[in-house]
């Protein structure tokens, strides 16, 4: 990756003028040194806060239109200032210039558990599931998220800039999810949406690690219905409930927060759709291994699908996995996104870039595959006003590659989040 640095002459002149004045009035040495480093710190912090970068790409996939040949993306104060061809966009003299073969919006992982589950695969860094009960919607992902987890850094170095993460699909309701940027020293710096969805699971995985209840599909549906009925009654009362479970489920009933329902088999997908219609709640189908067998039903429901990782292993409720699921749903006009999902084994996460590449090799067009981890993922998560495409005013989140992102031999050579270069590690 080629990098060029430019300096602001006006800024330099202003600083030198201050120093000249300080010397002229014969400040004491200690006072002068104190003021010198004070003004230097102010100038430095001002420069960092107002990073000005020009990213040049032989191909720039804006996802807001056709890809641009020999394109330029101007970044100022963390936002995208301009996008266009080299002949359309003039690069100011004081902008840092970065070049890459291919530039895309920062990638979005539509469903993962990283940040809660860590790479060590030891009890102390596995926080995505609490074994204390089968129904725990009050558990907040932001209370367990580790912004400096190595897996967050790992996916960032492949161009992933936004993740939808939270409690894993191994209980009837395991907790809440959140949406975060893959940057920041703590959860507050990383978080975009603190409570994004409520993670629920139907099927064989719903009682994993939870004992014997709910041990059957009928029991799972009955328990979920019972809690939704309780929330309906609470929503009618003038005084808000003091029960944490009821509080969050009332938000579900009021359609303020959707449920993310992991349902792999056709039976469980239909149960999820049926319950959602019965209580008029918003849901997102997750995993959905059998979705290619229920295309008409899913399309009629209007619910979007976060498709299982393309390269997920078949087994259990995933007997009918297909590499073509994403392409078939997309062809039917169903809004989809791809995910890294939940992995029980080390290294604990997949990389959505590779999952999209495999989907592109199995019927999904290159543009649609990229959309499934950028703009379409942003639309599904309700954050497309900020991320998912390279457009003026949006967050300056970019991924830079030295070739076609979906080619195995290509490397991610740079990642930019909120206008700041967060990775130049070649992956």
- Spans of all domains in the chain: 1-49, 50-104+390-427, 107-387
Whole-number pLDDT of residue 400: 98
Judge: domain 50-104+390-427, CATH 1.10.10.10: no
Q: Which helix (H) or strand (E) covers residue 355, if one does?
A: helix 352-360
Q: Place 346 in a pLDDT band, splitting at 50, 70 and 90.
A: confident
Q: Percent of the chain beyond pLDDT 90?
A: 82
Helix axes 244-253, 217-236, angle to 10 degrees: 90
Q: Which helix (H) or strand (E) covers residue 204, if one does?
A: none
Residue 8: is its pLDDT beyond 70?
no
Residues whose CB is less than 8 angstroms from the CB of residue 153 and which lie 6 or more positions away in sequence, other chains included: 182
Q: Place 14 in a pLDDT band, splitting at 50, 70 and 90.
A: very low
Rounded-to-integer distance, Cα 334 and Cα 198, Å: 22
Whole-number pLDDT of residue 210: 52
> What integer is the mean pLDDT of 68-75?
98
Burial classification of residue 354, based on how many CB atoms lie within 10 Å of its CB (0-12 exposed, 13-18 middle, 19 or more buried): middle
Classified by CATH at the fold level, domain 107-387 comes out as TIM Barrel (3.20.20)
Helix axes 29-49, 9-24, angle to 10 degrees: 170
pLDDT tens readout for residues 36-54: 444 444 444 434 444 899 9
Rounded-to-integer distance, Cα 115 and Cα 192, Å: 14
Residues whose CB is less than 8 angstroms from the CB of residue 276 and which lie 6 or more positions away in sequence, other chains included: 259, 261, 282, 283, 301, 303
Residues whose CB is less than 8 angstroms from the CB of residue 43 and which lie 6 or more positions away in sequence, other chains included: 11, 15
107 CA to centre of own chain:
7
Whole-number pLDDT of residue 41: 43
Average pLDDT value for the chain? 90
């Amino acid at each position: 990756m080629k990098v060029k640095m430019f300096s602001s002459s006006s800024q330099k002149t202003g600083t030198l003028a201050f120093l000249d004045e300080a010397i002229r009035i014969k400040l004491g040495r200690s006072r002068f040194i104190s003021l010198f480093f004070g003004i230097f710190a102010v100038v430095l912090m001002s420069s960092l806060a107002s990073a000005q970068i020009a990213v040049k790409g032989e191909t720039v996939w804006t996802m807001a239109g056709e890809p641009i040949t020999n394109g330029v993306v101007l970044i100022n104060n963390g936002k995208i200032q301009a996008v266009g061809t080299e002949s359309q966009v003039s690069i100011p003299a004081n902008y840092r210039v970065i070049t890459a073969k291919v530039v895309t919006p920062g990638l979005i992982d539509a469903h993962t558990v990283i940040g809660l589950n860590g790479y060590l695969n030891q009890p102390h860094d596995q926080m995505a599931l609490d074994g204390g009960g089968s129904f725990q919607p009050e558990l907040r992902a932001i209370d367990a998220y580790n912004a400096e987890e190595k897996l967050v850094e790992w996916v960032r170095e492949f161009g992933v800039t936004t993740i939808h993460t939270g409690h894993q699909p191994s209980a009837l309701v395991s907790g809440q999810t959140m949406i975060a940027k893959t940057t920041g020293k703590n959860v507050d710096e990383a978080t975009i949406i603190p409570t994004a969805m409520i993670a629920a699971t139907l099927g064989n995985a719903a009682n994993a690690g939870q004992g014997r209840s709910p041990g059957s599909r009928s029991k799972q549906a009955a328990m979920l219905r019972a809690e939704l009925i309780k929330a309906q009654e609470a929503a009618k009362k003038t005084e808000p409930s003091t029960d944490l479970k009821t509080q969050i489920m009332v938000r579900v009933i009021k359609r303020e927060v959707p449920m993310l329902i992991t349902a792999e088999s056709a039976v469980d997908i239909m149960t999820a759709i049926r319950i959602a219609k019965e209580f008029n709640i918003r849901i997102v189908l997750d995993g959905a291994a059998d979705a290619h067998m229920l295309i008409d039903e899913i399309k009629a429901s209007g619910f979007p699908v976060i498709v299982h990782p393309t390269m997920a292993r078949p087994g259990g409720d995933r007997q009918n996995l297909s590499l073509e699921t994403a392409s078939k749903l997309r062809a039917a006009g169903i809004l989809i996104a791809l995910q890294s999902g939940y992995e029980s084994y080390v290294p604990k996460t997949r990389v959505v870039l590779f999952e999209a590449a495999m989907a592109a090799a199995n019927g999904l067009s290159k543009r649609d595959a990229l959309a499934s981890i950028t703009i379409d993922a942003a639309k599904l998560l309700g954050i497309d006003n900020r991320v998912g495409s390279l457009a003026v005013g949006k967050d300056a989140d970019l991924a830079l590659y030295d070739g076609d992102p979906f080619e195995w031999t290509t490397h991610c050579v740079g990642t930019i989040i909120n206008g700041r270069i967060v990775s130049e590690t070649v992956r």
